[in-house]
Amino acid sequence: MSKSSSPRTAAGRDVMTAVVAPRYGNSDVLRVEDAPRPAPAENEVLVRVRAAAVASGDVHLLTGKPYLIRLMGFGVRKPKHPLIGHDFAGDVVAVGSAVTSCRSGDRVYGATNFGAFAEYVCVDAATLAPMPAGLSFEQAAAVPDSGMTALQGLRDVGGVRTGQSVLINGASGGVGSFAVQIAKALGARVTAVCSTRHVEYLRGLGADRVIDYTTADFVGSAERYDVLLDLVGNRSLADCRKVLAPEGVFVSSAGSPGGEWIGPVLWIGRVVVADLFTRRTMRPLLMKPRRADLEFLTELVESGKVRPVIEREYPLRDAAAAIAHVAEGHAQGKTVLVVSRSGTGEPS
């Protein structure tokens, strides 16, 4: 990873430091370079990014796999938007003419389509919210993508209610760590599935029961669940139906491997078709960033019911290492980039 700079760059405010993906590939293709500083459109907010979180979606967009995503507007031969990154927290610098929800100086967090791994990012005002009180920028950046995915999967698609039994398959990662806590906040009894090294960690997050998949199989258990949130996609639909209560809901936020071309699309189709032939409800989950959901998560954080868990922090210049870590698929909680420290003008 390289970085270019010049006296003009250091003094001028029309440029910024950003992580750039000039072509598809693994984390080795990333560069830290000077890029034009964006300007907000009428419905946008310009945010000075203090911290940004790495999500699995960043890995897929970096590699361009499955190839189908290249045909979905992300660029066929190379990334259409080379500045990468989705989740962020920072300070509002300027607002568009139509924005009334925030003003310069506000501390905000949220999600954007691209460009969060940079000193500045322009964001649709509808996809950010005031930061939860008491959180650092790093902690706040860890919330949006994973927190909203867990919330929408459990509350909106799964319909989790007080007293229900919830199984979370793949509970130790970024989404899973939020899912355990959100399910508990919604009043459910939570069973978490993970590997051996994450067992005590998930108990500490509030899981009522933890199944170590290296020594036990949740499909072989006699227990039946009202909601199964699948974040891994490593079991057949038949196995998933088997552990559901008669009126249970299966929510899939992952897909079984579909090759480098279509990825989870075939799996999503199978879930939709399976729903037509069973009394149980089978649903795929496609998260949509919403300000209202960020505000709901803020309430959970400020009430002490949910806390973001950060496994590792990296400076912006080490974004390649951060993404490589997430790409390994065994993270515990979230991985965060420290873009700039509050009160300083320098990228980390």
Average pLDDT for residues 186-194, to the nearest whole number?
Answer: 98
Q: Are residues 11 and 137 in the same domain?
A: yes
Q: How many CA atoms lie within 13 A of 191 on its CB side?
A: 22
Residue 149, pLDDT above cutoff 50: yes
Total number of domains constituting the chain: 2
Q: Are residues 153 and 223 in the same domain?
A: yes
Residue 67, pLDDT above cutoff 70: no
Asked if the structure places residue 343 within a domain, the reply is no
Which amino acid makes up residue 323?
Answer: I
Q: Which domain holds residue 115?
A: 7-143+308-338
pLDDT digits (tens, 9 = 90+) for 272-299: 888 888 889 999 998 999 999 999 999 9
pLDDT digits (tens, 9 = 90+) for 131-147: 999 999 999 999 999 99
Q: Are residues 166 and 266 in the same domain?
A: yes
Distance CA 114, CA 100 (A): 23
Asked if the structure places residue 128 within a domain, the reply is yes
Asked if the structure places residue 291 within a domain, the reply is no
Q: Are residues 174 and 107 in the same domain?
A: no
Q: Are residues 168 and 104 in the same domain?
A: no
Looking at residue 91, its pLDDT comes to 97
CATH number for the domain harbouring residue 208: 3.40.50.720
Map tokens 């997050």 to a residue: 205
Q: Are residues 154 and 259 in the same domain?
A: yes
Average pLDDT for residues 229-237, to the nearest whole number?
Answer: 91
Distance CA 8, CA 18 (A): 16
Q: Are residues 217 and 236 in the same domain?
A: yes
CATH number for the domain harbouring residue 312: 3.90.180.10
Looking at residue 259, its pLDDT comes to 52
Asked if the structure places residue 55 within a domain, the reply is yes
Residue 40, pLDDT above cutoff 60: yes
Asked if the structure places residue 100 within a domain, the reply is yes
Asked if the structure places residue 293 within a domain, the reply is no
Average pLDDT for residues 5-28, to the nearest whole number?
Answer: 72
Q: Are residues 155 and 279 in the same domain?
A: yes
- The pairing of beta strand 120-124 with beta strand 44-54: antiparallel
Asked if the structure places residue 66 within a domain, the reply is yes
Residue 166, pLDDT above cutoff 90: yes
Q: Are residues 162 and 185 in the same domain?
A: yes
For the chain, give the mean pLDDT: 88
Average pLDDT for residues 109-116, to the nearest whole number?
Answer: 93
Residue 265 CA from chain centroid, whole number: 19
Looking at residue 343, its pLDDT comes to 52
Residue 333, pLDDT above cutoff 60: yes
Q: Are residues 228 and 255 in the same domain?
A: yes
pLDDT digits (tens, 9 = 90+) for 244-257: 999 999 999 875 55
Is residue 229 within 8 Å of residue 177, measured between CB atoms? Answer: no
Asked if the structure places residue 22 within a domain, the reply is yes
Q: Are residues 98 and 156 in the same domain?
A: no
Q: Are residues 176 and 116 in the same domain?
A: no
Q: Of 268, 284, 300, which residue sits at a domain end?
A: 284
pLDDT digits (tens, 9 = 90+) for 86-102: 999 999 999 999 999 99
